[in-house]
Chains A and B, each alone.
Chain A
């Protein structure tokens, strides 16, 4: 895959992120104001008037750039609204970075927002275009639950062992979220509770699913050479990769539901851009798209953190714990931080921002060098994937 990358050409100089959760008292506009205000407050030298352009990511909480410009009362600036399934927030960030890297603008903001709790529905509801009625109307947990039996069967992991692995992933992410005042769920959850939670789809219980929530996050991006005008501790973008798959997995019997080909390709591209050759050793920490527990399991292999068929052992051995060799979802992940779709990609970067600047408090990982965020949208066999790699040092 050919991409030139924009390694070390742009930097994040400010960020904001609301608490994620059931914000019965906050509108989409409130969430946007909260996240962007915090972002501007973190960068006193870069007020709203100085921002040249905006990218707004939301799946269903608004249409067009007006969703942001009306709320922030921006001064006749360009605002681009983007949507790319659950990777929407990452997509807003990616396009904002490219705008700076290509020289079109010097100071831009990427914002992601989603308000899911006004619908009254359980789980995720995404409006699809009208069609001929032949697309199966399966819920998201059902689609992702297909990974678990396929993985267990391919690698000979017994049913009980597989349950332990999925439980361990949810338990770890709740442990991490319990140390995060912005997370939707801040109470540790016992393995017994997770393992015996009410069934939702396939072998997945309610505690295998990410939190449905409201939230927003924002990032200010500038040219890398300008970064120190705004902050002493910028976060540099090392790699940005995005893949939209051709839906091979939904068409071809070759696909066996134990991997996301889109993620494998996307990760390889990102590693090439960043010059990473051994992700298991070189990546200090990762925020990944743990929409459901088996997703995180499979991602550990697709991102090259574990050998094929070995991620389940790494999970059980605590390799991805906050205190482990490669902490994954230190902020609690989608599982416990919550998943307001359009905001999630930027929320992942927010954790990288805190960790790389040493501001993650009791979650602080020791001397992280490179952080990876991974964001996914769609379903196994037919999805979009985003990977970013960011670091505290400009190479």
Chain B
């Protein structure tokens, strides 16, 4: 049996109220909220967070890693390698990108399913101020680990695809927003493709009527029209209002949401209408209830904190603001980053074999006993800790001042001075429980500086 072993979803902490867009622009932008990636997140870092959740507590390492997004942090350079490094995967694991279009999301799932791999789907959806893409988009990431055996939680019964070349949406590389053709054109093009592909997939799977139906498309009206053809009780949906359509991650996010509540031995029909149509048919197993991630999609939908429209625009580069009178951040050195990739991307410190003292960053000489080259590598990325002391820095450069910094003491030993993400000054005090999160600290000279920050966590 081949299928999904584990999955994870990550919604960034911030929510933009559509009413705030309308109020700022003097238009009607609808109701509800969309998710917003923080200024220190990009599609790579969102992908790392989702992938960590999919890999959490799982002993099996993927043979491949396939990353999909419409908004890659780098062109010409693979983005999946940063995710690979942040997950501390073995070097013999293939890691590649499927970037540029929404359809890559399904492509990553297909490729991972065929190779006992990890599919990471991540997106940050942008649009010009006042556009439909701005208000209906959302930022999110999902990850699915595929493999064989008894621990499969959802068996992949069949897939089917149709491909069609037409322009209902497009974006030249480097543009801030996409262009769309008039809506009815896309509806007319997509509906026959969906109908035909779903029939083929269900036939191949030997399924007459799926228990759950997921339809994702960047063409929202086409998706609504397609959904209307299925019995309403089988249709999942319901994330557009509080999350938004998350582009290449959307099909995965909707699937994760169904897996969060599906019962064993139920069938799931997954449809993506983008530049053609892709369909997968899955059947859940008895292993599903015991192997869900700690945080469901709905748990995350219900959480979050507001972000102002002004901050949102600044974070997306649409509203430049006056910088502080401080030097611009400098890019990390590529050779230095390559030498310390296990530390920088994987948060791998070390522990002295003689006296057990943990060190972050890793070092060759033990600070406690002086032993030289007696260190064992140790990964701290998934450890929790407490704030030993903290401060709010109103002077240093940030896209969202003030910077909050903390000295974190990990539960298993080891201390790290780092920035705190997704928090307001009042959220952090001595003793606050924190976990680690992978972030893009800044970008300088076109180089993204990835490293870890602490994030407050409910801990019981």
Q: Which of A131-173 contact B (CB under 8 A)?
A: 131-134, 136-139, 141-143, 145-146, 149-150, 153
Contact B327 A132 (CB under 8 A): no
Contact of B415 among A122, A130, A199, A253 (CB under 8 A): A253
- A142 near B430 (CB under 8 angstroms)? no
A105-142 at interface with B (beta carbon < 8 Å):
119-123, 125, 130-134, 136-139, 141-142
* Cross-chain contact A125 with B337 (CB below 8 angstroms): no
Contact B343 A132 (CB under 8 A): yes
Is residue B310 contacting chain A, with contact meaning CB distance below 8 A? no
One of B11-19, B25-33, B205-213, B353-361 contacting the partner: B353-361
Beta-carbon contact of A141 and B395 below 8 Å: yes
Please measure, in the bound complex, the distance between the C-alpha atom of A256 and the C-alpha atom of B330, giving whole angstroms.
31
Residues of B within 8 A of A138 (CB): 391, 393, 396, 403, 405, 417
Complex partner residue of A134 from B329, B361, B403, CB under 8 angstroms: B361
> Is A248 engaged at the interface, CB distance under 8 Å to the other chain?
yes
Do residues A121 and B325 form an inter-chain contact, with CB atoms below 8 A? yes
How many A residues, CB 8 Å from partner? 37
Question: Are A136 and B391 closer than 8 Å at their CB atoms?
Answer: no
Q: A187 interface residue, CB < 8 Å from B?
A: no
Known pairs A125-B326, A131-B336, A133-B332; A201 contacts B344 (CB<8 A): no
Residues of chain B lying within 8 A (CB to CB) of residue A130 = 330, 332-333, 336
Distance in angstroms from A213 CB to nearest chain B CB is 16
Partner of A200, one of B340, B395, B419, B451: B395
Q: How far is the CA of A287 from the CA of B394 in the complex (A)?
A: 29
Determine if A104 is an interface residue (Cβ-Cβ < 8 Å): no
User: Contacts of B326 on A, CB cut-off 8 Å?
Assistant: 121-123, 125, 139
- Among A133, A137, A255, the residue within 8 A (CB) of B344 is A133
Instruction: Contact check, B344 vs A122: say whether CB atoms are below 8 A apart.
Output: no
B367 near A251 with CB under 8 A, answer yes
Contact of B394 among A201, A246, A257 (CB under 8 A): A201
Chain A residues lying within 8 Å of B451, measured Cβ to Cβ, are 133-134
Q: Tell me the bound Cα distance from A379 to B394 in angstroms.
A: 18
Judge whether B339 is part of the interface by a CB distance below 8 angstroms. yes
Residues of B within 8 A of A202 (CB): 391-393
Instruction: State in angstroms the CA–CA spacing of A250 and B358 once bound together.
Output: 12
* Binary A-proximity of B341-374 (CB < 8 A = 1, otherwise 0): 0011000000000000101110100011000000
- Contacts known (A133-B344, A134-B343); A201 close to B332, Cβ less than 8 A: no
- In chain B, positions 284-335 with a C-beta closer than 8 Å to chain A are 324-327, 329-333
CA distance A142 to B331 in the complex (A): 22
Bound together, the chains give a CA A248 to CA B394 distance in angstroms of: 27
- Provide the residues of chain A in CB contact with B413, threshold 8 Å: 253
List residues of chain A with CB within 8 A of the CB of B324.
122
Instruction: Verify if A272 is at the interface (C-beta below 8 Å from B).
Output: no
Given A121-B326, A136-B417, A142-B395, A253 contacting B388 (CB threshold 8 A): yes
A251 and B415 in contact, given A120-B325, A149-B389 (Cβ under 8 angstroms): yes
* Closest chain B CB from A173 CB (angstroms): 21
* B interface residues, tally (CB under 8 Å): 47
Q: Is A1 an interface residue when CB atoms closer than 8 A count as contact?
A: no
- B337, closest chain A residue (CB): A132
Q: Which residue of B lies closest to A143 (CB)?
A: B391
List which A230-265 residues lie within 8 A (CB) of chain B.
246-248, 250-253, 255-257
Q: Report the separation of the CA atoms of residues A258 and B326 in the bound assembly, to the nearest whole angstrom.
A: 29
**Interface contact B392-A247, CB-CB below 8 Å:** no
Which of B331, B357, B390, B417 interacts with A250 by CB under 8 Å?
A: B417
Known: A132-B332, A139-B393, A149-B430. A252 touches B357 (CB 8 A): yes
Nearest Cβ on chain A to B431's Cβ, whole angstroms: 10
Majority SS of interface residues in chain A? loop
Q: Is there a chain A Cβ closer than 8 Å to B262's Cβ?
A: no
Which residues of chain B have C-beta atoms less than 8 A from A143's C-beta? Answer: 391
Interface check B418, CB cutoff 8 A: yes
Asked if residues A132 and B407 are in contact (CB atoms below 8 Å), the reply is no
Contacts of B343 in A (CB 8 A): 132, 134
Instruction: Give chain B nearest CB distance to A232 CB in angstroms.
Output: 47
Cα–Cα, bound, A190→B363 (Å) = 48
> In the docked arrangement, what's the CA distance between A125 and B339, Å?
27
Evaluate contact between A251 and B360: CB separation under 8 angstroms: yes
Q: Which of B330, B332, B415 has the most CB of A within 10 A?
A: B415
Which residue from B336, B361, B405, B415 sits with its C-beta under 8 Å from A252? B415
**In the complex, which residue of chain B has the Cβ closest to the Cβ of A126?**
B327
B449 beta carbon closer than 8 Å to chain A = yes
Tell me, yes or no, whether B409 is within 8 Å of chain A by CB.
Answer: yes
Quote the shortest CB–CB distance from A59 to chain B (angstroms).
15
Chain B residues with CB below 8 A from A141, complex form: 393, 395
Neighbour of B396 across the interface among A137, A149, A253, CB < 8 A: A137
Q: Which residues of A contact B94 (CB under 8 A)?
A: none
Q: Which residues of A contact B418 (CB under 8 A)?
A: 136
Q: What separation, in Å, do the CA atoms of A149 and B388 have in the docked complex?
A: 10
Q: Do A136 and B394 touch (CB < 8 A)?
A: no
B220 within 8 A of A: no
B417 proximity list for chain A (CB < 8 A) = 136, 138, 250
Which residues of chain A are within 8 angstroms of B430 by Cβ–Cβ distance?
A: 149-150, 153
List, in ascending order, chain B residues with CB within 8 A of A132's CB: 332-333, 336-337, 339-340, 343-344
A residues within 8 A CB of B361?
134
Contact A123–B395 (Cβ < 8 Å): yes
Chain B residues within an 8 Å CB radius of A247: 367
A137 vs B331: C-alpha distance when bound (angstroms):
12
Instruction: List, in ascending order, chain B residues with CB within 8 A of A149's CB.
Output: 389-391, 430
B393 touches A142 (CB 8 A): yes
Residue of B nearest to A199 (CB): B394
Q: How close is B58's CB to chain A, nearest CB, in angstroms?
A: 27
Min C-beta distance of B330 to chain A, whole Å:
7
* Cα distance A201–B425 in the bound complex, in angstroms: 11
**B441 on the interface (CB 8 Å rule)?**
yes
**How far apart are the CA atoms of A141 and B402 in the complex, in Å?**
13
Contact with A along B406-417 (1 / 0, CB 8 A): 010100011101
Is B368 a contact partner of A252 (Cβ separation < 8 A)?
yes
**Chain B residues near A250 (CB-CB < 8 A):** 415, 417
In Å, the complex CA distance between A141 and B391 comes to 10
Contact A142 B396 (CB under 8 A): yes
Name A8-57 residues within 8 Å CB distance of B: none
A146 to B419, CA, bound (A): 14
Chain B nearest CB from A108 CB (Å) reads 35
Interface centre among A137, A146, A153 (most CB of B within 10 A): A137
Task: Determine whether the beta carbon of B325 is less than 8 Å from that of A131.
Answer: no
Q: B residues within 8 A CB of A136?
A: 405, 417-419
In the complex, residue of chain A having the shortest beta-carbon distance to the beta carbon of B449: A133
Q: Mark A192-208, 1 if CB is under 8 A from B, else 0.
A: 00000001111000000
Once the chains are docked, how many angstroms separate the CA of A143 from the CA of B393? 9
Q: How far is the CB of B443 from chain A (nearest CB, A)?
A: 11
Nearest CB in chain B: distance from A284 CB, A: 35
A137 touches B367 (CB 8 A): no
Within 8 A of A (CB), among B27-56: none
Q: Are A134 and B344 in contact (CB under 8 A)?
A: yes
Q: List 6 A-B contacts (CB under 8 A).
A: A120-B325, A122-B326, A123-B326, A133-B333, A201-B392, A256-B389
Which 9 pairs between the two chains have the least Cβ-Cβ distance?
A133-B332, A142-B393, A202-B391, A139-B395, A133-B449, A130-B333, A132-B336, A253-B409, A122-B325
Q: Apart from A122-B326, A149-B430, what 4 extra A-B contacts exist at CB < 8 Å?
A: A136-B418, A146-B390, A150-B389, A251-B357
